[in-house]
Amino acid sequence: MTLPDRAALSRREYLKGLVAAGGTAALAACLEEESNVEIPAGDPEGLPDRQHAWNDVLSGNDNENIVPARHHVLLSLSLARDPTDEDRERFERALETLERAYEWSHEGLLFTVGYTPTYFDRVGWNGLAEPEALTDFEEPAFEGGDLLIHFTSDHSQAVVAAEEALLGELEEVNGIEVEADIAELVDSRERLTGFVGAGLPADADVSGVPDSEPIPEEAPFFMGFRSGFDRSQATEDRVTIEEGPFAGGTTQHVESLAIDLHQWYEQDSQFQRVAKTFSHEHAEEDMVGEYGEKLEDSNALTDERIAETTEDARRHGVVGHAQKTARAREDGEPLLLRRDFNTTDDDRPGLHFLSLQRDIGEFVRVRDAMTGDDVAADTGIGSITNNGILQYITVRRRGNYLVPPRELRAFPDPNNE
């Protein structure tokens, strides 16, 4: 992939473009651009048992909401052969190298390693469902690899270097010798990349991002609103598997979406965008502001508003995405811990919707609530029109993963623990 043109871009756009490009040339360019950045080293000893325990080492904002790190890479790897015990040990050493090189935090590097049903076939375990189409109007590609590593950091160099170190392209990473890599084991790789942060969507320079009605400068996501409020996120405890061979781990779903931003920004008013994202009441009462700045630690959906979803569809001809999806809460608690991020992969705007939950079945239940066939059935709204944000998104890819606890993260074999 060609590197982005430094002269044509702001610094943050350039760094984002280098993550999308990946590879050793992109890494060299990141290091040059971030030559003033010193990333603290880390220590694999004493890290949490859960790979997905990130909240304590991500930063928070004034309202207790967790702020995602800026850069993201999802590295999907297909293995050349079934891994042996020696490969397990080598992979573990390679991962520990990364933990030694970078502090376990958003300023250093965070990652999870998740495995697919294809991988589990190799070791004769069938506890994880294959991904499937979840709506009538999608024909997604499905994850075809064995494992998916989610790397994230505020520094582009960390996510790009981690990938290259793991795949045997570096002798040193952040000044630490690379002791082991898994290049020989990997048959092919696919990369999904992205970013989150105020200003980054507005700056994005790809076709499909409208100029005429700009995305709010402060918006961290392409569709213009803050997301991931504390009270609409599941806790890390809630998404942790409680029993079985992977107790202490979690499951992960990645739904990659293309977004039609032209339609969203050019056909709809701010009132409609708020009503379709949150609820009609949010729009009428002006509860959201330009990009969500009026909301604090919650999306302000009351139990009553959630329960009135179908009634709102009848009365106002529109339902909100969050309102409709919140119907899947259990005892008032959200089931998903969302760690999604924007993307311009394939030179178009989109979102890699990544969520953690105790069981893939819980993701499916929440996704069904978002699809809202029942809401559309007899209320006069369409199956996608005025039905939250469905009209603007196209599902392009899905994958299901099991993210084991840290001690089982290197090629787990549940029949042999």
* Footprint of ligand HEM (CB under 6 A): 221, 223, 225, 227-229, 232, 255, 257, 259, 277, 299, 301, 321-322, 325-326, 329, 334, 336, 351, 353, 366-367, 370, 389, 393
Token pair 């952040």: residue: 174
Strands 393-403 and 250-259: antiparallel
Between residues 90 and 367, which has the closer beta carbon with respect to ligand HEM? 367
Name the minimum Å distance from CB 304 to ligand HEM. Answer: 14
CA angle 145/196/79 to nearest 5° reads 10
Name the minimum Å distance from CB 377 to ligand HEM. Answer: 19
Of all residues in this chain, which one has the CB nearest to ligand HEM in the complex?
232
Name the minimum Å distance from CB 12 to ligand HEM. Answer: 21
d(CA 185, CA 34): 32
Between residues 268 and 413, which has the closer beta carbon with respect to ligand HEM? 268
User: Of all helices (H) and strands (E), which one includes residue 140?
Assistant: none
d(CA 176, CA 199): 33
Name the minimum Å distance from CB 78 to ligand HEM. Answer: 25
Classify 345 as helix, strand or coil. helix
Q: How far apart are the first and last CA of the chain?
A: 41
Name the minimum Å distance from CB 319 to ligand HEM. Answer: 13
The DSSP code sequence of 21-84 is H-SHHHHHHHHHHTTT--PPP--STT--S-TT--GGGSEE-TTSPEEPPSEEEEEEEEESS---
Between residues 157 and 252, which has the closer beta carbon with respect to ligand HEM? 252
Name the minimum Å distance from CB 236 to ligand HEM. Answer: 16
Between residues 321 and 409, which has the closer beta carbon with respect to ligand HEM? 321
Token pair 């931003």: residue: 261
Which residues fall within 8 angstroms of residue 103, CB to CB, at 6 or more apart?
39, 40, 41, 42, 109
Between residues 118 and 394, which has the closer beta carbon with respect to ligand HEM? 394
Between residues 48 and 210, which has the closer beta carbon with respect to ligand HEM? 210
Classify 113 as helix, strand or coil. strand
Name the minimum Å distance from CB 288 to ligand HEM. Answer: 9
Between residues 88 and 231, which has the closer beta carbon with respect to ligand HEM? 231
d(CA 317, CA 184): 57
